[in-house]
Structure 1
Amino acid sequence: MKSAVETLSPTRAKLTVEVPFEELKPSLDKAYKQIAQQINVPGFRRGKVPPMVIDRQVGRGAVLDQAINETLPAKYAEALQANDLTPVAQPEIEVTKLEDNEVLEFTAEVDVRPEIELPSYEGLTAQVDDIEVTDEDVDEQLQALRERFGTLQDVERAAQDDDFVVIDLKATQDGEVVDGAEVTGMSYRVGRGGMIEGLDEALTGLSAGETATFTTSLVGGDLVGTEVEVAVVVNQVQEQELPELDDDFAQEASEFDTVEELKADLRERLGNGKRLEQAAAARDAVLEALLEQVEVPLPESMLTEELNARRQGMEQQLAYAGTTLDAYLEEEGQTIDEFEAELEKRVRDAVAAQFLLDEIAQAEELGIDQSELQQHIVRRAQQSGQDPQEFANHMFEHNHIPELVQEIRRGKALALIVESATVTDASGNHVELKNLKPDGTIGEPEAEVEESAEAGDEAADQAGDEAEVETTEDGAEDSKA
């Protein structure tokens, strides 16, 4: 087999592959056997029909088509390897020449991983915001704690913001109740939103026993976006009574004896949380500084696929939250064009970072061991709310282990870069990145990973064997970035 590559762009290549006909022979023999099992020809037993008879009965063209379809994937993969190309999308393949008993020629256009000239990635500098825990931050936490210990009392007045109401709700379309859009006895806090648009306005001013109707659009289910009529009945109006903020409350709600001790603990916890946020911001700032030093060509097909996936994911999240993209943009004071531009920039930066970190991981010869893969599997399972064993089994069975391996290697590459960087806050103070873990994540407790690790042991052991192959045989990677 002979192959040649033509570079169409920094991220797209065209392979021309010439396959001598003798290399098609195994696939031709297989095609004849399969077709012989599928046809009935008088005078011949099923499966014993000679090739020349099949050519007359079915046609040589059908046999060639089957043999070519059998051969192309392997020859395409062989040509990729011979020309040191890593695809990031499915190819567009076209048979350009077929001379029976002579030669098969085909072309394959495909988006490929770009070649990147690595910039210097040691000693980068970046800046992040100062850490500040305000009195308002502490008061907000105290208020949330008081609300947890609050009690509800029925009131004989109209509902207003922050009241709790017990309601019956029913949505109809053309007089028919919408499936799944009828609830009774539901508790809801007026003014907090997050359910259906128009509900807060309808409830405000209603007393127990009163009803209101309004028109809105559904934000979830099969009828998302459909306009419906909603009837809401108020059964109870309740006012929340909060406990006094005194030492007795501190003792009831915490392990502290005084309010001042409770406030000090809340301030410390908020500070710890903000330090984790600052560490994450520092990591991102260092990565952004690295991206500014190099121009990474990006495959358009990959960008389009990632953009569509992110749009879909965000729309699903908004639907779960009981709102729409239009409502979200209105709340954020953002136009659809601004949103799309921001989303595209995030996607471009993310894809560029993947390619760049892959190159650095390769240059630094970063590998992984089985325990690292196991912990990563458990962490990913926790993030998605899945059982670690089931998640590990799914990853292994669907050949996603190379993707997980590459995620870990990218994390290691990022950790390596951040470790050598100098990060300061807006006041010029050095930011200590003690919470940055070796895989590039921020401050995730080891205990949580260790407690869940046993659940994924068996599948992770299998995955680890797979990972060893992926990282020892020339750093093999999955074809996706």
Structure 2
Amino acid sequence: MKSAVETLSPTRAKLTVEVPFEELRPSLDAAYKKIAQQINVPGFRRGKVPPMVIDRQVGRGAVLDQAINDVLPQKYIEALQENSLTPLAQPDIEVTKFEDNATLEFTAEVDVRPEVEIPAYDGLEAEVEDIEVSDEDVEEQVKALRERFGTLNDVEREAADGDFVVMDLQARKDGEVLEGAEVAGMSYQVGRGGMLDGLDEALTGMKAGETKTFSSQLVGGDLLGEEVEVEVTVSQVQEQELPEFDDEFAQMASEFDTAEELAADVRERLGRGKRLEQAAAARDAVLEALLEKVEIPLPETMVTDELNARRQNIEQQLMYAGITMEKYLEDAKQTQEEFEAELERRVRDAVAAQFVLDEIAKTEDFNVSQEELSEHLVRRAQQSGQDPQEFANHMFEHNHIPDLVQEILRGKALATIVEAAVVKDASGNVVELKNLRPDGTIGEPEAAEEAAPEAADAEATEAEATEESADKA
């Protein structure tokens, strides 16, 4: 076999491959055997039909086609290896010349990994915001804790913002109650939002026993986004009574003896959460600083595929959350064009970051131990809400283990450049960054779990830290 490569662009190559007919003979023999098992010819047992008879019954051309289909993938891979090419997608293969007993010629155009020249990444400089835990932050967390121990008391007055109501809801379309669009005896806090547009406005001012109808759009089901008439009936209006934040409350709600000790602990946990957020921001800023130093040609097919995948993922998340794209864009104060432009920018940065981190991992000669892979599998399973063993089985069965290994290698590369960087906060203080895990995610998980809810949520998004970092670059 002979092969030659033509560079069509920095990210696309064309292979021209010539395969002598002699190298086709094993595939040709296999094709005859396979066809012999599939046809019935009087006078011959199944599987024992001679090639000459198959040629008369089926045609030599069908046998040659099957042989070519069998040999092409193998010869394509050999040509990639001969020319040291790393494909990034499925090739476009075309048979350009073939006759019986003659040389087979074919071409294969494919996106390939671009050559990346990595600049020096020791001592990259970046800046992040200061860590600040305000009294208001502490008060907000203390209030959330008091609300967990609050009591609800019925009141004989109109419902106001912050009150709880017990309500029945029915959604109608053309006068018919929609299946699955009704609830009974539901407790809801006025002003909380997250259900139906117009619900909070309707509930405000209602008393127990009153019914009101308003127009809204469904946020789930087959009629997502459809305009409907919603009837809400309030059976109870309840006022939440919060316990006093004193020593007695501290002893009931925590392991501390005094309210002062509990407040100090809340402040410390918030600080740990803020440090976690600052570390994540520093990681993103360092990667952004590195990407600014290098120009990487990107395979457009890869960018398009990733764009489509992310767009589909966003649409699914919005559907599960019961939010239309129009509502999402309205809340984000974005036009469709601005959303698409921002999404494409993030995708391009993410793809570029992958190439950069892959090259650094190769340069540093990183490897992945079985322990690191197992820990990564467990963490990914936990973050996706799956059983670790079931998640691992799925990854092995669908050949996704190489992808997970690559995630860890990229994480190690990211950790290397971050720990070698000089990151300062807005006040000029150096930020210590020695808490990255081997896969590039931020350490100190206990800080995230114990700290403010928003910090814990931030940690939960660390499953694919290198890609998410690139999004912000």
Please, what TM-score do these two structures have when normalized by structure 1?
A: 0.88
The equivalent of 2:383 in structure 1 is 383
Gaps of 5+ in 1: 449-481
Out of 400-409 and 205-214, give the one that drifted further. 205-214
Q: Distance in 1 between matches of 2:238 and 2:444?
A: 40
Q: Distance in 2 between matches of 1:43 and 1:212?
A: 85
| 3-state SS of paired residue (1:366) | coil
Q: 1:13 to 1:254 in 2, by over 3 A?
A: same
**In 1, are the aligned partners of 2:161 and 2:204 still within 8 Å (CA)?**
yes
**In 2, are the aligned partners of 1:196 and 1:322 still within 8 Å (CA)?**
no
Q: Distance in 2 between matches of 1:198 and 1:66?
A: 64
Q: Distance in 2 between matches of 1:390 and 1:245?
A: 45
Q: Distance in 1 between matches of 2:398 and 2:156?
A: 60
Give the AA of the match of 1:133.
V
**In 2, are the aligned partners of 1:116 and 1:359 still within 8 Å (CA)?**
yes
After the TM superposition, which residues 396-435 of structure 1 pair with which residues of structure 2 at under 5 Å, given as runs?
A: 396-435=396-435
CA drift of 1:184 comes to 2.0
Give the AA of the match of 2:319.
A
After the TM superposition, which residues 169-184 of structure 1 pair with which residues of structure 2 at under 5 Å, given as runs?
A: 169-184=169-184
Give the AA of the match of 2:184.
T
**In 2, are the aligned partners of 1:276 and 1:435 still within 8 Å (CA)?**
no
**In 2, are the aligned partners of 1:423 and 1:430 still within 8 Å (CA)?**
yes
Q: Distance in 1 between matches of 2:446 and 2:256?
A: 27
Out of 168-177 and 141-150, give the one that drifted further. 168-177
Q: 1:447 to 1:373 in 2, by over 3 A?
A: farther
**Is 1:340 equivalent to 2:340 in the alignment?**
yes
The equivalent of 2:214 in structure 1 is 214
Q: 1:424 to 1:103 in 2, by over 3 A?
A: same
After the TM superposition, which residues 15-414 of structure 1 pair with which residues of structure 2 at under 5 Å, given as runs?
A: 15-414=15-414
Q: Distance in 2 between matches of 1:196 and 1:96?
A: 61
Q: Distance in 2 between matches of 1:306 and 1:268?
A: 40
Give the AA of the match of 1:72.
L
The equivalent of 2:458 in structure 1 is none
Q: Distance in 2 between matches of 1:318 and 1:199?
A: 20
**In 2, are the aligned partners of 1:195 and 1:323 still within 8 Å (CA)?**
no
Out of 261-270 and 155-164, give the one that drifted further. 155-164
**In 1, are the aligned partners of 2:96 and 2:107 still within 8 Å (CA)?**
yes
Percent identical residues: 79
**In 1, are the aligned partners of 2:435 and 2:442 still within 8 Å (CA)?**
yes
Please list the CA deviations of residues 55-98 of structure 1 after superposition, one character each: whole Å capped at 9, or x if unmatched. Answer: 22222222122111111111111111111111111111111111
The equivalent of 2:451 in structure 1 is none
Give the AA of the match of 2:75.
K
Out of 182-191 and 70-79, give the one that drifted further. 182-191
Q: 1:438 to 1:47 in 2, by over 3 A?
A: closer
**In 1, are the aligned partners of 2:163 and 2:190 still within 8 Å (CA)?**
yes
Q: 1:61 to 1:227 in 2, by over 3 A?
A: farther
CA drift of 1:446 comes to 8.6
Give the AA of the match of 2:276.
L
Give the AA of the match of 2:162.
D
The equivalent of 1:472 in structure 2 is none
Give the AA of the match of 2:44.
F
Give the AA of the match of 1:26.
P
**In 1, are the aligned partners of 2:14 and 2:108 still within 8 Å (CA)?**
yes
Aligned length, in residue pairs: 448
Please list the CA deviations of residues 115-154 of structure 1 after superposition, one character each: whole Å capped at 9, or x if unmatched. Answer: 1111111111111111111111111111111111111112
The equivalent of 1:452 in structure 2 is none
Please list the CA deviations of residues 442-479 of structure 1 after superposition, one character each: whole Å capped at 9, or x if unmatched. Answer: 1244999xxxxxxxxxxxxxxxxxxxxxxxxxxxxxxx
**In 2, are the aligned partners of 1:195 and 1:321 still within 8 Å (CA)?**
no
CA drift of 1:385 comes to 0.9
| Moved >4 Å (runs of 4+) | 174-177
After the TM superposition, which residues 422-461 of structure 1 pair with which residues of structure 2 at under 5 Å, given as runs?
A: 422-445=422-445
Q: Distance in 1 between matches of 2:41 and 2:175?
A: 64
CA drift of 1:330 comes to 1.9
Give the AA of the match of 2:77.
A
Give the AA of the match of 1:112.
V
Q: Distance in 2 between matches of 1:185 and 1:267?
A: 38
Q: Distance in 1 between matches of 2:105 and 2:91?
A: 16
Q: Distance in 2 between matches of 1:234 and 1:427?
A: 53
**In 1, are the aligned partners of 2:272 and 2:447 still within 8 Å (CA)?**
no
Q: 1:190 to 1:321 in 2, by over 3 A?
A: farther
Gaps of 5+ in 2: 449-473
**In 1, are the aligned partners of 2:161 and 2:191 still within 8 Å (CA)?**
yes
**In 1, are the aligned partners of 2:269 and 2:447 still within 8 Å (CA)?**
no
Out of 169-178 and 20-29, give the one that drifted further. 169-178
| 3-state SS of paired residue (2:37) | helix
| 3-state SS of paired residue (2:32) | helix
**In 2, are the aligned partners of 1:161 and 1:204 still within 8 Å (CA)?**
yes
CA drift of 1:177 comes to 4.3
CA drift of 1:380 comes to 0.8
Aligned CA-pair RMSD: 2.0
Q: Distance in 1 between matches of 2:357 and 2:333?
A: 34
**In 2, are the aligned partners of 1:282 and 1:423 still within 8 Å (CA)?**
yes
**In 1, are the aligned partners of 2:27 and 2:67 still within 8 Å (CA)?**
yes
| 3-state SS of paired residue (2:390) | helix
Q: 1:216 to 1:89 in 2, by over 3 A?
A: farther
Please list the CA deviations of residues 391-420 of structure 1 after superposition, one character each: whole Å capped at 9, or x if unmatched. Answer: 111111211111111111111111111111
**In 2, are the aligned partners of 1:196 and 1:323 still within 8 Å (CA)?**
no
**In 1, are the aligned partners of 2:224 and 2:322 still within 8 Å (CA)?**
no
Give the AA of the match of 1:442.
I
Q: 1:116 to 1:152 in 2, by over 3 A?
A: same
Q: Distance in 2 between matches of 1:68 and 1:222?
A: 48
**In 1, are the aligned partners of 2:425 and 2:431 still within 8 Å (CA)?**
yes
Q: 1:196 to 1:103 in 2, by over 3 A?
A: farther
Give the AA of the match of 1:411.
G
Q: 1:259 to 1:27 in 2, by over 3 A?
A: same
**In 2, are the aligned partners of 1:197 and 1:323 still within 8 Å (CA)?**
no
**In 2, are the aligned partners of 1:193 and 1:200 still within 8 Å (CA)?**
yes
Please, what TM-score do these two structures have when normalized by structure 2?
A: 0.90
The equivalent of 2:455 in structure 1 is none
CA drift of 1:158 comes to 2.8
Q: Distance in 1 between matches of 2:59 and 2:179?
A: 55
Give the AA of the match of 1:228.
V
Out of 214-223 and 50-59, give the one that drifted further. 214-223
Q: Distance in 1 between matches of 2:447 and 2:56?
A: 71
CA drift of 1:8 comes to 1.2
Q: Distance in 2 between matches of 1:63 and 1:384?
A: 48
